[in-house]
Amino acid sequence: MVTMIRFPSQLGYEKVAMASAAAIAARMGFPSERIDDIKTAVAEACINAIEHGNDLDTLTPVTVELTENCTGLEINVSDSGRREMPSLLPCPAGELKPRGWGMFLIQKLVDEFDFGTTPQGNKVRMRLNLVHNQQ
């Protein structure tokens, strides 16, 4: 089953995507601690799309696609890519800055993660398996 959510690039709307992902994950049988991971990862990806991808332009939407199957949940967050994503993620070394760690955090919270630029904009793909393999 696929659920699509589109919302304007305005901070606060990430909560709609976060709540939807949590409801789907709960229905699928994810444990509460994994649902917390899902909520955090979705919120981070949406905030990045709103702020960085779409430059807070409320007329430019963010799209969240939630695809559930018998093995897990895949979440794709897309923006219109006014600013391309960096090719490298920050890593926890050297001088720590208060911002720019969202993608690193997402990577640590999900089972599979990739991101890139498409002809339509930027896209973050996250996958969470119902049977979690702890790293």
Q: What is the pTM (predicted TM-score) of this model?
A: 0.88
Instruction: Answer whether residue 85 shows pLDDT above 90.
Output: no
Cα–Cα distance, 90 to 99 (Å, whole number): 10
Instruction: Answer whether residue 98 shows pLDDT above 70.
Output: no
Residue 101 domain flag: yes
Residue 114 domain flag: yes
Number of domains in the chain: 1
Residue 40 domain flag: yes
Residue 115 domain flag: yes
Instruction: Give the relative orientation of helices 102-109 and 32-48 as an angle to the nearest 10 degrees.
Output: 150
Distance linking the first and last C-alpha atoms of the chain: 28
Query: Which whole number is the average pLDDT over 13-20?
Result: 97
Residue 51 domain flag: yes
| CATH value at residue 118 | 3.30.565.10
Containing domain of residue 42, as a range? 2-129
> Which neighbouring-strand residues pair with 4?
65
Instruction: Answer whether residue 88 shows pLDDT above 60.
Output: no
Residue 134 domain flag: no
